[in-house]
Amino acid sequence: MDLIIAGTIFLAAALAALALYWWLEARRETLPQRFKELVGDTVEVGGDAIDAPQRWIGKIRDRFKTNPPREAEIVEMFSGKALSGSRLLLNNAGYRSARSYTAYIAIRLALPAVGVALAFAYGKFAGTSPRLLSLVIIAIAIAGVLLPDMLLRVKIRKRQESLIDALPDGLDLLVVCVEAGLGLNAAFVKITEEFRLSSPELSEEFDVVNREMVAGKPRQEALRALADRTGVEDLKSLVAMLIQTEKLGTSLAQSLRVHSDSLRTKRRQRAEERAAKTAIKMLFPLVFFLFPALFIVILGPGAIQIFHALLSKAAK
């Protein structure tokens, strides 16, 4: 009976995970499906049969212009444009390889299955009650599904914090480069070189922007992709400022200097906010861990003496 219950729970969790994976993959049209929708299963025989291949080729070419194939989707994944769900989270975390999404889905499927199998084996070996074993298996299955997403979001938060902390210094260097007469592309290259050790994340992001512009991508699209790829509000405001400066023709160096000062002020305010929260965060460890030990050390001897005095009086 126990084996049947555990097997049923395991199969339900595995089927739910597989159904979610198949649903995500089914939303992406494959190239054969597109070709079949355009061409059809049969070919009409008639007066236009000779021109049918040319017509099919034209339709396929038009469809590829509006719906790029998988290779183009990989390029879009690298640039961080038009992404959503797990792909956007992976891109925000810095995992931009073509196989990152497949590996992430595989981990989310394999982790609960392995955890449930190990928990079931250990429970049967240790002789755990069926009800407790079922609860443990359910908890492990849920944790196995949610744990990769939680770790990925922690990675995203750390990466974004690194970008936020290094961005004011990068803007200072950008201001110096622009005032020295360098173009914006050359200034991005200088930031990539100078921040390679101090802030690899910022160096990588500006390197991607520079490579996209060298490859022929318009500057505005490359900057918007930077904002979408990182998900950092400070970078989004910087991109908006650069685009507006380019459209309106205002002084780039002056705009960058003002924006750099504002970001530096925001960074100082964040540091002050964290310092103000330190006392509240230290309250609970002090109350639950440090104060009981202090009370025992300070009041313990006096309490023992009072207890002995009361016992001696009671004995008399």
pLDDT digits (tens, 9 = 90+) for 263-272: 888 888 888 8
Q: How many CB atoms are located within 10 Å of the residue 24 CB? A: 14
Torsion sign over Cα 122, 128, 134, 140:
negative
Q: How many CB atoms are located within 10 Å of the residue 124 CB? A: 13
Q: Which long-range contacts (CB under 8 A, 24 or more apart) does 81-89 make?
A: 81/221, 81/224, 81/225, 81/228, 81/229, 83/228, 85/24, 86/24, 88/231, 89/149, 89/152, 89/153, 89/156
> Is residue 46 classed as helix, strand or coil in its secondary structure?
coil
Query: Which structure tokens are listed for 197?
Result: 């050790």
| Tens digit of each residue's pLDDT, the chain (316 residues) | 555 555 565 566 666 666 666 555 554 444 445 445 544 444 444 444 445 545 555 554 554 444 444 434 444 444 444 556 777 888 888 887 778 888 888 888 888 888 888 887 877 777 777 777 788 888 888 888 888 888 889 999 999 888 888 888 888 888 888 888 888 888 888 888 888 888 888 888 888 888 888 888 888 888 888 888 888 888 888 888 888 888 887 788 888 888 888 888 888 888 888 888 888 888 888 888 888 888 888 888 888 888 888 877 777 6
List the one residue out of 94, 112, 110 whose CA is nearest residue 102: 110
Q: Does residue 104 contact residue 96 with C-beta atoms inside 8 Å?
A: no
Q: Does residue 199 contact residue 206 with C-beta atoms inside 8 Å?
A: no
CA end-to-end distance (rounded Å), the chain: 66
Query: Which structure tokens are listed for 208?
Result: 């991607």
List the one residue out of 201, 215, 209 whose CA is nearest residue 227: 209
Report pLDDT digits (tens) over 109-134.
888 888 888 887 877 777 777 777 78
The pLDDT value recorded for residue 78 is 44
List the one residue out of 264, 288, 92 whose CA is nearest residue 175: 264
Rounded to two decimals, the pTM is 0.61
Cα angle for residues 156, 159, 164 (degrees, 5° grid): 120
> Is residue 83 classed as helix, strand or coil in its secondary structure?
coil
